Amino acid sequence: MPGACSLAPHIALREAGLPFDLEKVERSKKTQSGADYLAINPKGAVPALGLDDGQVLTEAAVIQQYIADKVPGKKLAAAAGTTERYRLQEWLNYIASEIHKGIGQLFNPVMPDDYKEAGKKGLAAKQFPYLDKALAGRNYLLGDFTVADGYLFTVLNWTNLHKIDLSAFPNITAFTKRVSERPAVQDAMKAEGLLKAA
Ligand SMILES: N[C@@H](CCC(=O)N[C@@H](CS)C(=O)NCC(=O)O)C(=O)O
């Protein structure tokens, strides 16, 4: 689903340099090849990753770690069992539960406007100041690029659609620009029709 949270594992696949096929999911829950998406992921949400053995993996934070672990040399995630890996998981869980769902809920067409405004105020008062401080003096959340950065970039990208002004958070805006300029991110966004192909 172009621009949805599925962009994060899509970026991870390109950063990893792994071969993959993209399959678009329509709002009707049919895939572009006519399959019933609910039969693929009964939760109905993207992303879902079909594995070579026929299994389907869901949940963005988990799929991204699966992809990262396929190519340890790319260091998209620290090795399992290390403290650094738990730090990565700490970020992935925070992004999933606070930022992804915090901004994602604003897409709900039946959510009342005052509820949306309260959600935006909460992000601006609590989560964005925290993120801006965490990014001070570093290029990426954990120093070097990991899947958490692709995930955070993907969900922060939605602030544009919801007219959420991030100009008071210079480290966040520098981060999103930095991530957006990575070749894998550019390629993923072009493939999803979010950027014009050169
Ligand atoms: N818990 C899931 C949530 C994924 C999610 O929220 N996907 C959204 C797009 S960003 C979606 O497909 N929404 C449509 C639906 O749930 O029917 C995850 O973290 O991967």
pLDDT in tens, 58-67: 999 999 999 9
The ligand 1 atom at the shortest distance from the C-alpha of residue 6 is 10
Per-residue model confidence (pLDDT) at position 196? 77
Per-residue model confidence (pLDDT) at position 70? 98
Yes or no: say if 13 and 23 are a contact pair by the CB < 8 Å rule. no
pLDDT in tens, 86-105: 999 999 999 999 999 999 99
Residues with CB under 6 A from ligand 1: 1, 4-5, 44-47, 59-60, 96, 104
Instruction: Give me the tens of pLDDT residue by residue for the chain, a chain 198 residues long.
Output: 999 999 999 999 999 999 999 999 999 999 999 999 999 999 999 999 999 999 999 999 999 999 999 999 999 999 999 999 999 999 999 999 999 999 999 999 999 999 999 999 999 999 999 999 999 999 999 999 999 999 999 999 999 999 999 999 999 999 999 999 999 999 999 999 999 766
Distance 50 CA to ligand 1 centre (A): 16
CA distances from 77 to 86, 88, 117, 135, 185 (A): 10, 7, 35, 18, 17
